[in-house]
Amino acid sequence: MESRSGIITLITDFGTRDAYVGVMKGVICTIRPSARIVDISHEVPPQDVAEGAYLLEAAYAWFPPGTVHLVVVDPGVGTHRRAIALYTRGHLFVGPDNGVLSPALQQERRFVHEISDVDYALADRSDTFHGRDIFAPAAAHLASGISLERLGPAIDDYIVLDLPRPLLKGRRVEGQVVRVDRFGNGMTNIPRGMLRRLGEGPFVVFLGERSLGPLRRRYQDAAAGEPLALIGGDGRVEIAANGASAAELLDISPGIPVRVIVSS
């Protein structure tokens, strides 16, 4: 296992109005004062485990090896759901065993452990704030260099979400919108690499039965207020509108089918 980068990333559904995120950071800094904490997002819709998983998938690979990624979207807090930590592809992950860590758990080589050793949690633990009492301490200790094995036993019966995956069918790729960002862009599950398997293009994108025309390079390649499709910053097909909200303009929501075909 690589040395630790000293970075801990955070994804939660806590928002920033309350003290929850700050308290977690206080616990981390108490255990690992030199930790560099990076906020990926605290605006996951409450209890939306799938949204947390999509944000983790979009973000974690941009950090250096040895980074610890802490994700707390935990509708089952206080129940018998487990706390887990894992290592894969040079990164460490900490969170509840409810599928929110699915992007890491789906990697070919992964090492998954239950977090059960009380020596690596706070002495006084509540039934409603495991982000503070269990997950933040575990992440801080991992960032300090302890091994996964010290947190608890290896497990292989963890929960993985059945996240929708795009399909290659002849000369088209079929996927769907999986989330809508704050700009109203429809983020899909169709990666750029899958389009390369169709050939050189040109490609035409459909949202449901509506054609959005050819795949564009920039938002400004469409007229003001006009919808378009392009490859977004996360390397996936994105449904957008130049200077407007595609979600409002096209009534976009997660689950709407998206097709990319080779224009003949």
Q: Which two tokens stand for residue 181?
A: 């960002």
* CA distances, 23 to each of 26, 29, 169, 236 (Å): 5, 10, 49, 35
* CA distances, 22 to each of 31, 42, 44, 87 (Å): 15, 11, 16, 26
Within a 10 A sphere around the Cβ of 201, how many other Cβ atoms?
14
Spans in the chain with pLDDT lower than 70:
1, 264
Question: Is the pTM higher than 0.75?
Answer: yes
Residues in the chain: 264
Q: Go through the domains of the chain in sequence order and give each one's CATH number.
A: 7-150 (3.40.50.10790), 167-262 (2.40.30.90)
Bond prior to 164 in cis (omega within 30° of 0)? no
Q: Which two tokens stand for residue 260?
A: 């990319």
Under 8 Å between Cβ of 151 and 204: no
Closest CA to 241 of 225, 217, 257: 225
